[in-house]
Amino acid sequence: MAALRIVLTILFIVVSIALLVVVLMQEGKSAGLGAVAGAAETYWGKAKGRSMEGVLMKVTKWLAVSFIVLAAVLNISKF
């Protein structure tokens, strides 16, 4: 049981660092001239899910869910 806790703790640390890096890589919502000029209405705005920004958003969501689940599992296993 101690080995599983060590593995989960290491995984938690890796997910935490990855989440930090992915969040820092993202642009702000108001960043860039595209937001001012209304570029969200163009093809590139509609195909955002396939762009680097869209991928970063999806990775952020999955890492955040993993972070919360691992935190809960590590907290429950203390008892």
User: How confident is the model at residue 6, as a pLDDT?
Assistant: 93
pTM over 0.85, yes/no: no
Residue 40 confidence (pLDDT) above 70: no
Q: How sure is the predictor about 4, in pLDDT bands with cuts at 50, 70 and 90?
A: very high
DSSP 34-71: HHHHTGGGSHHHHTGGGSHHHHHHHHHHHHHHHHHHHH
Distance of CA 5 to the CA centre of its chain: 23
Nearest Cα residue to 64 out of 22, 3, 5, 2: 22
CA dist., res. 16 & res. 18, Å (int) = 5
Taking residues 17-28, report their average pLDDT. 92
